[in-house]
Amino acid sequence: MKIAFIGLGNMGAPMAANLAKAGHEVTGFDVAGASAEGVAVAESSVAAVAGAEVVITMLPNGAILRAVADEVIPAMAEGAVLLDCSTVDVESARAVASQAEAAGLGALDAPVSGGIGGAAAGTLTFMVGGSDAAFAVGKPLFDIMGQKAVHCGPSGAGQAAKICNNMILGVTMIATCEAFALADKLGLDRQSMFDVVSTSSGYSWSMNAYCPAPGVGPQSPSDNDYKPGFAAELMLKDLGLSQQAAEAADADTPMGQRALELYRSFVEDESGRGMDFSAMLPRFEKRGRG
């Protein structure tokens, strides 16, 4: 398949490389001049998409996605599919999909879970919104770049699923870190805490698969000085998107709102920028009730 890939950053580059390694003809473009193994580099986004059957984008935010869509949609081949893997606001995802469909193109919003490691290993999970026909075109590519693709519904549904999932993740990570900090002050051994909670009603992905306490549970960023697997500033971005969506939908999400406030303080006012999102644990360790 002839594929264009716009956005060859920390996530996009390994995803594009995996497609090229699988035998697809991939042409990439990145405003920063980045490249990826096995991927031809075009001099512009418009040049990259010429003749492509699928155009994949992996971009920082909805405003940039809209700007790139304005550039590439008029240059895309008739019947091609615009497959956006960025994590953006639902409104932008739906607007770009409508723009693509009006031009006779297919459109998918397909944000990912799995981080940089999952992008490199080809084990991402895709949450996909769009038509059945467009999903059928994208499915073989999802199978190369990831281990699972869930068709969540029409355009925007992929972003909605990602936002809701990561709101849960942010809230449960904060609760897990709070609980470990409380356990420390109560004199409870961390391994004992993990052994109880990981097999009891406090079970969660944050505890069992990504434990924020070093030396406890499976290997996680806490065992590597909290170097990011999923950076705190990315969690802040996703929680911001969740609350933007909640406001638009008139949904009451007080825990999501509080998680946003805590991560904003951690990233903007404390030492959280450049740290893993599980580094909330040392933050709570240092703090008292006041």
* Active-site residue list: 162
DSSP code, position 216: S
At 83 the three-state DSSP class reads strand
* Strand pairing report for 112-113 and 106-109: unpaired
State how far the Cα of 172 lies from the Cα of 269, in Å rounded to an integer.
22
State how far the Cα of 276 lies from the Cα of 283, in Å rounded to an integer.
12
Question: Closest Cα partner for 233 from 271, 269, 277, 270?
Answer: 277
- What is the C-alpha R_g of the chain? 20
At 107 the three-state DSSP class reads strand
Question: Closest Cα partner for 75 from 13, 168, 6, 154?
Answer: 6
